[in-house]
Structure formats: structure tokens, C-alpha cells
Structure 1
Amino acid sequence: MPDLRRSILIAVSMVALAPAGAPAAMADNASGALDVRMKAELSRLQSEQHHLEGQLAMAHEIAKLQSHINQMRQELLQSLQHSNGYSRHLSSRTPNPSLSSTTEPVPPVYARVQPQPEAMANRTTNEPLPPINAEAPRSSSGETEIQSGHVADARAHIEQQIEKLRAQLSTWVGGGVGSRARTGTTGLSKLNETNVNAAASTTLGNLGRLTVSASNVHLSAGGQPDAADAHLVGSAPAFGFVPNVTDRATGTGFSLLFARPDLQMDIGSTPTGFLEHGLTGGIAWQPGGGPLSLQADRRPVVDSLLSYAGMYDPYTGSNWGGVFANTVQIAAGAGQDPARYGSLSYAVLQGSHVAANHRWSVDGGLRWPVATGIPDEQVHVGINMLFMSYAKNLSFFTLGQGGYFSPQTFYRPSATVDWEGYMGAHAVWKLSGRLGWQTFQQSSSPYFPMDPALQAQASAVNHQYPYYPAQNVSSIAYAVTGQLAYLFAPQWLGTGWLRMDNSRNYQDTVAGVSLQYYFSPLSTPPDPDSLIKPWMTPQ
């Protein structure tokens, strides 16, 4: 701009000092030269302006890009903090509430070493742009400002997430054996179960995981009932003592399971070889992976040999039992501190020559995280309340009864605790416990709820009112569950589990072990919540 002003002043002076009557050509030549020089100067200034504007725009874009990269890096580290390495999302047959981590958050590893937007905006045009992956600044002692421990910790958790994804995507084959013991009356409500199973599982591209399994199941009621109890089996109250009560069953069941994060579907059958068997299946959907879960299924009622496999009555020549619960359920979970969860379900229970029944249940509670100071351990405590109600009491073993626990009212408030974590790189475990109080009421029930003629005959034979008496029971209720998985080798995973539960009117104990071979090598076991798969657990 100073050169342009100087040129204009010279031109004006020349015109002013020119003698009068000078040739017009001189003025014309000076004016033309001035126009050329002015146009050239303007062009140069415009070019420089465009160049500076481009440099400034580029600096702003680079600053925005760097800010976006920093934000993405911090979000990635925060997501790792809330992922399975720190906190677990439960999940679920009923949707398990989100478990929040109480460990110290991972610091933003890269925040200090990247150019900030303010620095980019204030840089000069000749200053070179800083490299995106510049090294961390060093202190006067020569050490980087970023602690190597934080970097190692972040890297370890990233690698852990990769291994968990690899486990989720790997094809595997496996097998296991489980057992269950239910206390009760020998030959009637007592039940011992042995389950030997095998399974294979693979992923179907991005669609989900497909698992097929087969289980050989052996049931025993512990032997024949004594003489007094044998008078209350089948049609015995109407015809007398029943010899050779059905006290065992063996069969093989199959199932096909398809699962993805927000959807699970399965179809199968209770063991063929049982006196009564049938199809099972279900669908559970968690729309958008959100807090709401919808479920519908058909499952066997496995309280006793009668309800699970059926029994034979020699006087009438018929089988009865084999009860299935056809259930619809809606459940939800939300929050972290505390986590809130609840479910509402309705079921229709039906069996062969067994009176139809209906059940309502409501389950819900709260759960709080407890800080442990250990990154790979989590503890949660909570409170829970379960209520359920059956339309009929069909707990007994005469014709028309179902042989399953069916109170008219049942309440169970309790306190809960969940503790899980990793032992080194090769073992993962989970412990859960519940302690509370239960109270239930059962109405009186006819010997033969589906056959008035047999009911009348039983009254004539026994000279008494042919009804099971009502009862009210209250007691302490507890449950303890333990799960452990150990990676023996990069492709071999062993699992063990144990459960003891005295809820309802009996004590139930389940234990088992399994072994899986993964086609893709692993360096860490799967999450605790995925240790017990449906194919592993006795029905």
C-alpha cells in the first residue's frame, strides 16, 4: 500500500508541474502508465489477501480437527472406563441393571501433548504447523508429563476389550456335567438330577451367535415313598395303595439358540424318553439395547419328577404331569447409583391331566456400587422384593395335581450382594448372595381337582374330607451362587459353578463343571456374566 500511494503522488505532481499547453499525449501516457501500475498493485494485494485468508482458514480447520481428535480420544478412554474392564452391563434373561464403576477414571492420556485451538489461532503465518503426534513435553527432570503407568493401564484395558471381543466372536465346542439336588419327600417331592451335555457355537457373520446343544438328563425321586406317602400318589386315595410309584426318568433334550446383543431366540424340547415331554422355546427382546426388555417363553416346571417328566398311574392306566409355564414378561432397568430394576410377569401353567393354573409375579429392587480400590473387582449391594401369586395350590401328587410349588401369596424381601473380578490374566470369578425373609400361604386343595367322581370316591373310601390342608409358613430365605472360569491354555476354558437356594418350600443345590475349546486363541476369560450359558445349566 505505501508503494501505491507514492506512485499516485508522483503522477499528480507531474501533471501539476507540466507547462501549460504541453502536448496532450504526455498526459495520456502518464495516465495510462498509472492505470497499469495501479492494476498490477491491486492484483498483487488481492493475491496476498487470498493467500493470508487461506492460511488462516487452514489454521482454524486444523485447530478444529485437533480438538475433535482430542475429544474422540477422551471419549474412547471414558468408554473403556465404563466397559467390561471397569463396569459391567447386566443384562438379560430379565434385563440386568447397569453396574457402574467406582474406580478412578483413566486420565486423558493424550490431552497434554496435542496442539490446542487457541494455540492454532494465535500462530504466525510463517510458523510451521506442529505435528499431530508430537511427543509429550518433558519436565526439567527430563521425564514426560504423562505417567507411563497410566499409558500401560489404558493399553492393558484396550487389549482386554479386544480379547473379550475375540471370545465373543470365536467358534467353540464344549461339554459339561451338572447335578441338582432338591430336598423333599422321598418318592414324591425329592429330586436328584444329573445332566451331561455337549454344545457347539459359532457366529453368523454380523447377524449373531448360533448355539446347538444336546443334554442327557437322568432324574430320580430318591426311591419309593413309604406306605403313608404312597396313599397320596395318583389315584391311590380312591383305590388304595399304589405299588411301584414312578421314581425315575431318563431322556435326551435338544435346543437351538440364536443370540445377539438386543435379541435372543431359542427352540428345543424337554428330554425325549420322559413320560411327558414337549417343545420349549422363547424370545427376549431389548429394543435398541435400551432399559426395557420384553420376553415370552415356554419352559418346563422342574420342581419335581412329576412336574418335569410325568408319572404313571396303574389304576387308570394314564400318565399325568409334565407341566409347562407359558410366560410373558416386561422388565426394565435404569440408573447406576443406585441401579433400579423391576419386572412384571404373567404365566399360564398347563400339564397332561393336570388342572390349569395362573401365576402373577412382581420382582424389583435397587443396587449400589461399593468402592474397592481395585480396578478389576466390583462389589454391589442392594435390596430386593419378590411377590408372586398362583390361582390354585397344585403342589401335590394325586391325579390332577402338578407337583410344583404354587402358593396363593408369597413375599420375599431380601438384601443382596454381588462380588466379581479377575485373578490375574487367566481366571475370572463371580459371587452372589441373598439373605432375607420369606412368608407364603397355601390354600387347601382337593385330591382330584379335575375329577369330581374320583373326589367323591376318595371321600367314601377314607371317610374324611378329601382335601389337602391349607398352611402358612415363614422362614429365613437365602441363596448363594459362585462361578469360576479358568483359561488353562489359549484355547481351553474350564468353568465351574455352585448354587444353593432355600427359597420356596425346599432347598435346591446345583453344581457343575464344563470345558470349552475356542478356535481362536484367548488371553483372558470371557466376562463373568457370560460364564453360565443356558446349555451348561441343568433345567
Structure 2
Amino acid sequence: MTQIQSQIDQLAQDTGPRVDVQTGYRGRSGETGLSKLDEIKGSAKFSTGAAGGRVFAKAEAVVIDAGRPTGSGLARFGRNATPEAQGIVAAEPSALVNADTQNGSGVALSAGYENDWVQLEGGTTPIGMGKTKFAGRAAVTPKLGQNVRATAFVEQKPVTDSIVSYAGTRDPVTGERWGQVMRTAGGLGLSYDENGSGRLCRGTLLPPARRERGEQRWYRGQRRRLSGSLQGPQFTRHRGPQRELSGLRQEPELFHVRQRRLLQPAELHLGRLPVNYTMQDARWDVAASFTPGFQSYKEDQTAIYPTDDTAQAELNALKAENSDVRSYFDSLSKTGFALSAQGSLYYKITPNTRIGGELGYNTFGSYDEFRSILGVRQSFGSTGK
């Protein structure tokens, strides 16, 4: 009888109404007012069973903050590079124009449908945070055999690396808004998995996507081999090498001034060894991942005003008078050790109520990032105790 009731409870959770409520924090290292980012989110998602899957509607409130750029950061913000250069040549204090505190808030709305092999979602970027734009994703993940699954997807999402790319901002010198970039992507993948030991091959292509004077071209290839799996009724461990090559061509018109390090680096090579642990029973759902590895990335030298020949020519002329003038951003490269770690812990208070949270820390790429989530899931319709 207990087993039958458990199956009824699981069926109710799979097909009955359900509410998921989450709150989360993301902190990203960087320069205050530029690449630094603090983000708080709170979301509520209602879903119910339909047509062999689940339909859902979701609202997500977002607050982001980067502080106010000052000093060297202000001199590289908007068109302030020109008054900085003029002050250097004149041997006088530069008449920089102060920028506002960089923050934003809004509510993103979305709805969709998902089952074992189709995932559809369409909605908006946060309303009230820059211009409201369409954001969505469509994916199919059919099984081609007992252990083989294919993946194909297309998506359009905001670039959330910084305030400028996510919400956009206003140039304190000209008053013009710029930034708020959308990323359009598509990809194919194929995976083979047998008891946790298998291979994954995936490729992603992001064609040029122009939004608010921004363009991104992105390619990504990933090959992964999982090996050495240990399995028991409640515990699973996976480990294996992973190699990844990423390239991002960051078109400088994205920011007028490229405000360095607002996105991931232009070319990124990764070698990683992920180790994953999971444990599940009637009450607990625990997962942990630790991924040490090495990375190498670089960014090319870039003009301050790459899309404005007149403004750039003025800077070049000022630099000819005084070599201390900044007329371009230096190139940058870095090679070394990096790691990422994630963990999640959820507890089922009753058959219909689950609470828990997640933590994550990642040093791959040119920024360090910390994430945390607290969540509650409430299902309706089951009579189990």
C-alpha cells in the first residue's frame, strides 16, 4: 500500500498543479560601475500537467547594481576618454562628466511548455529595465536509442555579463543610451550515456546579433567523456576529462567605448576535469560538482572609438602630442589554473512540499562569480501524507 501511495504521489507531482518560488543572488567581480555586478532575483512559477508535459507561466523580478564609476573607470566610461585626453595634453585636470550610479530593476514575464523531448518558452526581458524585448528558447531532445539522445535548440536571451550589456546605460557626455545586447544562438548536440559513463559532443553557433549598436559572434565546441562511474541505489559519482574551445568576437560598437572586461574574453581555451556526485532518497536530493582545470584566454588591442572615425582621429592627434593619452585599450592574455564548484541540497518536508538551495562559485573566464539560490516547491493534488 505504501508503494502504491508513493506512485500516486509521484504521478500527482508530475501532472498536477505546482508552484515554484525562488530567490537568488549573483555576485560578479570587476570594476565598480563597469564590469562589477550584483544581482538579486525573485521568481514565482506556476505549472500544471498538459498534453503529456507541463505548461507554465513565470514572473521574475530582477534588481542589478554595479555602483558608480569613478577615477580611471569614469575616464573610460562613455565619451569621457576625450576630455581626459584634452586635460592630459593641456596639463590641466581633466573635465570628466560624472556618471549616474549604474543600477536597474524590472520584471520578466514568460510562459511555455516542456516534456521529455520538447522545451518551449517565450517572454520578455525585464520590463522597466531598458527597452522591453522578446526573449525565448525552443529545444528538442529526442532519444535515438536506449542510451543515445540528440539535442537541437535556438534561443534569444539578454547578455547578463554587466549592467551595460544587460540593461543598457546613458553616456554622461552625450546623453545617448547604448548597450542592452541580445544574444541569438542555435546548437546541435549528441550524447551517449550508459549508467553514467558515456560521451557528450555539442556545438553551439551564435550568428551576428545586432541590438542597440551591439554585435556578437560566438562559437563553442565541447567534447566530454564521462568515465569511472560508481553507482548504488542512492549514490552516483561521475568523473572524466572535458575539453572546450570558445571564441567570442566582441564588436566594439557594442559600447562606443568597449569598457574592458564587460563580457567574457575574445578567445577562451579550457581544459577541465569535472567530478559530480548525486544522492537521492525519499526525503533528500543532494548534488555536488567540483571542476578544476586550466584556461587560456586573450583579448586584442582595440581602439577607444572604433565606430567613430572623427572622434578616434581626435584622440590619435592628442596622443601624438602626448604619449600619456589613451587612444586604445591594450591587449590582454592570461593562462593559468581555474575551478568551479556547485552544490545543491533539497529536502522534502511532505510529499507535496520541497525546500532547499544551491551555491556555486566559478573562476573560469576573466571574472570570478558567486551564485546562490533558495527555493520552495509546492505541489497540489496529491493526498499522500
Same fold (TM over 0.5): yes
Partner of 2:134: 279
1:516 and 2:362 equivalent?
no
Indicate conservation of the 8 Å contact 1:319/1:352, yes or no: no
Residue 309 of structure 2 corresponds to residue 309 of structure 1: no
- CA 1:460–1:251 in 2, change beyond 3 Å: closer, same or farther? farther
1:268 is aligned, of 116, 123, 145, to 123
Q: In structure 2, what is the Cα distance between the partners aligned to 1:352 and 1:262?
A: 31
Quick check: 2:215–2:251 contact (8 Å CA) kept in 1? no
Asked if the contact 1:354–1:399 (Cα under 8 Å) also holds between the matched residues in 2, the reply is: no
Matched residues, percent identical? 22
Alignment partner, residue 102 of structure 2: 247
Aligned equivalent of 1:482: 343
Change in Cα spacing, 1:352 to 1:439, as seen in structure 2 (3 Å) is same
Which residue pairs with 1:469 in the alignment? Answer: 330
1:356 corresponds in structure 2 to 215
Q: Is contact 1:339-1:368 (8 Å) kept?
A: yes
Deviations 1:454-493 (A, max 9, x none): 2223334454462111111012121111112111123221
Task: Tell me, yes or no, if structure 1 residue 340 matches structure 2 residue 199.
Answer: yes
Match of 1:405 in 2: 263
Gaps of 5+ in 1: 1-151, 525-539
Matching of residues 22-421 of structure 1 within 5 Å: 163-204=9-50, 206-221=51-66, 223-240=67-84, 241-288=96-143, 291-336=149-194, 338-348=197-207, 350=209, 352-371=211-230, 374-392=232-250, 394=252, 398-399=256-257, 404-421=262-279
2:201 counterpart letter in structure 1? G
Inter-CA distance 272–291: structure 2 relative to 1 (3 Å threshold): same
Equivalent residue for 2:88? none
From the CA coordinates, give the structure whose radius of gyration is larger.
Answer: 1
| 1:238–1:455 Cα contact (<8 Å) kept | no
The aligned amino acid for 2:128 is G
Contact 1:395/1:406, CA 8 A, preserved across alignment = no
1:442 to 279, 299, 312: 299
Tell me whether 206-215 or 499-508 shows the greater mean CA deviation.
206-215
Change (3 A) 1:431 1:159: farther
The one-letter code sitting in structure 1 at the alignment partner of 2:150 is L
- 1:425, CA displacement in angstroms? 2.0
Query: CA RMSD for the aligned pairs?
Result: 2.6
- Higher fraction of helix: 1
Q: Does the residue aligned with 1:287 lie in a helix, a strand or coil?
A: coil
Amino acid paired to 2:305 = F
1:5 counterpart residue number: none
Correspondence 1:504 to 2:365: yes
Structure 2 letter corresponding to 1:356 = E
Which letter maps to 1:168? D
> Equivalent residue for 2:285?
428
- Separation of aligned partners in 1, 2:375 and 2:210: 32
**What are the ranges of 5 or more consecutive residues in structure 2 without an aligned counterpart?**
85-95
Q: Which residue of 2 aligns with 1:21?
A: none
Contact 2:124 2:132 in 1 (8 A): yes
CA distance in 2, matches of 1:518, 1:161: 15
Equivalent residues, number: 366
Given the superposition, is the C-alpha separation of residues 207 and 438 from structure 1 closer, same or farther in structure 2, using an over 3 Å criterion? same
CA distances 1:136-177 after superposition (whole Å, capped 9, x unpaired): xxxxxxxxxxxxxxxx9xx96x87666444322121123221
Q: Quick one: which amino acid aligns to residue 287 of structure 2?
A: K
> How far apart are 1:323 and its partner, in Å?
1.2
TM-score of the superposition, structure 2-length normalised? Answer: 0.87
Q: Is the 8 A contact 1:393 1:408 kept in 2?
A: no
One-letter amino acid matched to 1:259: E
**TM norm structure 1:** 0.63
Sort the Cα spacing of 1:233 and 1:465 in 2 relative to 1 into closer, same or farther, 3 A.
closer
Cα distance in 1 for residues equivalent to 2:260 and 2:18 = 39
Structure number with greater CO (CA < 8 Å, separation at least 6) is: 2
Which amino acid in 1 is paired with 2:241? I
More strand as a share of residues? 2
Q: CA deviation at 1:301?
A: 1.0
